[in-house]
Chain A
């Protein structure tokens, strides 16, 4: 384990930024979001960012290819470029797990080369939590917020910032930073303290019992979906703030002299998500609402060795316009203990 003083941190950021773009949570206009580091950008104290870091690997909009159309002929232009090296600093445990969940979609065959290139060139520096909030429930999904993983982990202890590499990629970067070695006692003390706070969280006892693979028919047919979805506006807020939602649309944009095929985030909550020329297999909001939660709590784990498609980051709890969210769904549908 290595450490640095908080006074030295700016210099370390500068060093990282010499070789790669560095992004970290920073405060602006009372909101916290990942911001490109430059001299003067301060690492935020906030628990997490409003927008999840999935953008780094799966941006909201990205151009896929271009077409030149002349008369009857078409030329396809592969505009893909190898991603530049970048570092994302300060990622919380929940969001680190979200990358694993996205990997299991984009990196299985046939894998997505756009995503893969960014994943290979990105280094994740995670940060252990010390002050979880009431909307946190990462523990429900077996995530340890005191040990968040990624390529490198940092612990924000009182006396210093502690660093540890978890992967080869992380070792390589950490080796260039010239940090002093340290013992683990401060980190261990912090882990214990955070663990005690985790016990006190209002959602500490939320369980995944009753969900998972093989529960499709039992849960799909529950009558409670109707009342849960009753007030749903059908907007995409939950989907777009969610670090694991990965559905996308592919669209063409005619600039006048070429056609850009791009993809953008899409939401299964939208009324036209499954609409095709001859019909729509999910006509009502209750069906669309159910799909989103069934996907995270049943279908995804069924296809991915029991891993749930939710990380308990709490963003949807904070952002849903009508305050409906996965916790209310789990408690109602799964009958999870208080």
Chain B
């Protein structure tokens, strides 16, 4: 259950819209059911009061939308950012991807978002109602009722939440949190402990499900190239489908390399994957390696920080040391 209520956000959004501070509001819009919330650009008080939601199904990270939406906006856009979203926000600012002046950012607390797939695994088919409260209460058309502890159905990225602290905002609603110790590298360590053959088999199995829908890339706040190399016929790797078994791996591995050092570990890639491939683990491996080779670094923690991979210091490891340090 979220500590901050929808009503507080609605009141804030309406007042900022009405006093002219902002021209529109990037927020979560009520869906057809209780869980299929859609990101939306609200332009009027009526729309906000009618359809704005904030509950356990508001996982979507709005930072990337700002890249395109700020170009056309005639005033400031109000955006609500959960703590993890603010890291993506900062990283995009570091990369000069949008004009900070055209955004009014409100930090909002987050108690972790729910994964509908996990709820469905417990409640089964035919979900007719979900109430987010102390417990998540699910009713089905088959007459079943389930009371589920929210922490049992958290999105993967929320189980291993890295920070409750907002690293950028114009205004904060609710209390400021702290960067927290997470176990987010445990799964990476487990993969590192495998033999190369086992690890290959693991990724072979996971990536073989990829349908190359590009949802991971298209949602990723670190993927903001105007023209992706995989969409460019002149690149020689342009493709819409894995032409062979190697290629489906290549796409994800190249993408992981491309966002290395810039990925804030927001977890959107794994959240949106229709085939439930744990893509975030590729990125986390890079983060873990960068941490161990160059000292701890969190992308997006501050605007303008120089990521280890694009910075040179005389203390940098030699490539041979990096190689020898593998698996440490």
Interface residues of A (CB under 8 A from B): 29-31, 33, 47, 50-51, 60-61, 131-135, 197, 200-203, 227, 230-231, 233-237, 239-241, 249, 251, 253, 262, 264-267, 270-272, 317, 319, 321-325, 327-328, 331
Contacts and interface: CB of A to CB of B under 8 A. Distances in A.
Given A134-B125, A197-B126, A241-B211, 18 more contacts: A30-B276, A60-B211, A134-B128, A203-B32, A227-B41, A231-B40, A237-B211, A240-B211, A241-B274, A249-B240, A249-B241, A264-B241, A264-B243, A317-B32, A317-B36, A321-B219, A325-B32, A331-B32
A235 B218 CA distance: 6
A231 B38 contact: yes
10 shortest interchain CB distances as A-B pairs = A264-B241, A321-B272, A323-B36, A133-B125, A233-B218, A231-B39, A319-B274, A235-B215, A235-B218, A236-B213
Contacts of B213: 235-237, 239-241, 267
A239 B240 CA distance: 12
Given A131-B126, A241-B274, A323-B37, A236 B212 contact: yes
A235 B141 contact: no
A22 B41 CA distance: 48
A30 B209 CA distance: 13
Interface string B213-236: 111011100000000000100000
Contacts of A201: 126, 141
Given A50-B274, A132-B125, A227-B41, A61 B243 contact: yes
B33 A237 contact: no
B209 to A, nearest CB: 8
Interface string B113-124: 000000001000
B292 interface: no
Given A240-B211, A264-B240, A328-B31, A233 B219 contact: yes
B243 A134 contact: no
Q: Is the interface of B mostly helix, strand, loop or mixed?
A: loop
A270 B227 CA distance: 12
A30 B38 contact: no
B39 A134 contact: no
A131 B36 contact: no
A217 to B, nearest CB: 26
Nearest to A238: B213
B216 to A, nearest CB: 8
Given A134-B33, A241-B274, A249-B240, A235 B214 contact: yes
B286 interface: no
Nearest to B220: A233
A272 B228 CA distance: 11
Nearest to B269: A321
Interface string B36-59: 111111000000000000000000
Nearest to A47: B125
B234 to A, nearest CB: 12
Nearest to A233: B218
Nearest to B141: A200
A50 B242 CA distance: 18
B127 interface: yes
A316 to B, nearest CB: 9
Contact of B219 (A61, A135, A235, A249): A235
B241 A61 contact: yes
Interface string B239-274: 111110000000000000000000000000001101
Contacts of A134: 33, 125-128, 141
A271 B38 CA distance: 21
Given A134-B141, A322-B39, A202 B128 contact: yes
Contacts of B60: 322
A327 B32 CA distance: 8
B294 interface: no
Contacts of B126: 131-134, 197, 201
Interface of B: 31-33, 36-41, 60, 65, 121, 125-128, 141-142, 205, 209, 211-215, 217-219, 231, 239-243, 271-272, 274-276
A264 to B, nearest CB: 3
Most B-side CB within 10 Å, residue of A30, A230, A266? A230
B128 A236 contact: no
A128 B219 CA distance: 37
B241 A231 contact: no
A274 to B, nearest CB: 13
A31 B219 CA distance: 23
Nearest to B121: A30
Contact of B231 (A51, A197, A253, A272): A272
B38 A322 contact: yes
Nearest to A236: B213
A259 B274 CA distance: 32
Contact of A323 (B31, B141, B205): B31
A240 B210 CA distance: 11
A234 B40 contact: no
29 contacts: A30-B121, A47-B125, A60-B211, A131-B126, A132-B126, A133-B125, A133-B126, A134-B141, A135-B33, A230-B39, A230-B40, A230-B41, A231-B41, A233-B219, A236-B212, A237-B211, A237-B274, A239-B213, A249-B241, A262-B243, A264-B239, A270-B231, A271-B231, A317-B32, A321-B218, A322-B38, A323-B31, A323-B36, A328-B32
A6 B278 CA distance: 36
Contacts of B33: 134-135, 202
Contacts of A202: 32-33, 128, 141
Contacts of B219: 233, 235, 321
Contacts of A266: 240
B291 to A, nearest CB: 29
Nearest to B211: A240
